[in-house]
Amino acid sequence: MQFNAAQIASLINGNIEGDDTIPVSSFGKIEQAQKGQLAFLANPKYEEYLYTTDASIIIINDSQEIKQKLDATLIRVPDAYSAFATILASYKKMITAQLNGIQQPVYISATAKIGENVYIGAFSYVGDNVIIGDNVKIFPQVFLGDNTTIDEDTILYPGVKIYHECVIGKRVTVHANTIIGSDGFGFAPQKDGTFKKVPQIGNVVIEDDVEVGANATIDRATLGSTLIKRGAKLDNLIQIAHNVEVGNNTVIAAQAGISGSTKIGNNVMIGGQAGVVGHLQIADGTKINAQSGVSKSIKTPNSYVTGSPAYDYTSALRSQVLSRNLPNIEKRIMELEQLMQQFVAEKISS
């Protein structure tokens, strides 16, 4: 596909400096881009490449100062990074829109309802009473259990498994080999030391505009629903336990784990490998640093915690400074002890 500067600028409401007819047909990083490619500059660390790149078109911030003559056509926007993301999203949508039809072999129940312009890849399974909305793209080897709903414009990448009764909203993206709706980890301890399984009869509900990375697991609720709310973004290799709620526009990085029945608020940011124990409340806007272990509810909005057990980020930084200074503190204490001993000895002798 080929686009010119004018078409790109109209998509992102940008202002062109240079030839608005110059075409591009692919994308490149600014430090490596070649003629015929589109690049962007958002990070000042890469500014030097603005003057050495061979990119034909470069998207830059409105505030970017040009210090040398450039051959490339520039498109100025308020936020170059967001604008480039918009372009990539449009490009990806155009690519996936070309996928259409049902490949063979597949199994589709006679009671399933399939919308228009749907793609279902080979070796997929669509169970009884499944509802698939318009423009859904289901890649090969996807499993959809009975009574599952997949709303319009959603993409399920290869190997995704969605158990029975789950509900997936509009414009959701689920990456390869993620499992949604497997049993929550519910076992009742018995007097003889064994564990009795507690049947998990709830489901998982994922609202609109959510993205779930590869190899993530989202467990079904014991009763009711495990809920991933609108706009949440979950990275690869994440574990979401039964009856968890993840708030609107919350982001969780790879290898984090959320234990059962914890309620995470809106616009929360959870770093990689962080762990949150069960039955907690995490307030809106909380930021949890990577590898933190959260063992108590965070009730104050916009808190910033770190460590294991996690506590206030500013206090943690002070503790780190003190820890680094311990050798000097020890030395000073020893010197003071010596001075005190010398002072006492002098007093006694006098």
The three-state secondary structure class of 304 is strand
**Mapped to the 3 state alphabet, what secondary structure does 128-165 carry?**
CCCEECCCCEECCCCEECCCCEECCCCEECCCCEECCC
For 205, half-sphere exposure in the C-beta direction (CA atoms, 13 angstrom radius) is: 11
In terms of DSSP bridges, do strands 257-258 and 275-276 run parallel, antiparallel, or are they unpaired?
Answer: parallel
Q: At what angle do helices 326-349 and 313-324 cross, to 10 degrees?
A: 60
Q: Which residues contact 109 (CB under 8 A, 6 or more apart)?
A: 126, 127, 128, 129, 130, 146
279 is catalytic: no
Q: Which residues contact 108 (CB under 8 A, 6 or more apart)?
A: 102, 114, 120, 126
Rounded distance, CA 184 to CA 270, Å? 21
In terms of DSSP bridges, do strands 304-306 and 311-312 run parallel, antiparallel, or are they unpaired?
Answer: antiparallel
> How is 36-83 classified by DSSP, letter by letter?
TEEEEE-SGGGGGGGGT---SEEEEETTPPP-S--SSEEEEES-HHHH
DSSP conformation class of 184 = P
Rounded distance, CA 142 to CA 162, Å? 8
The three-state secondary structure class of 17 is strand
By annotation, the residues acting in catalysis are 242
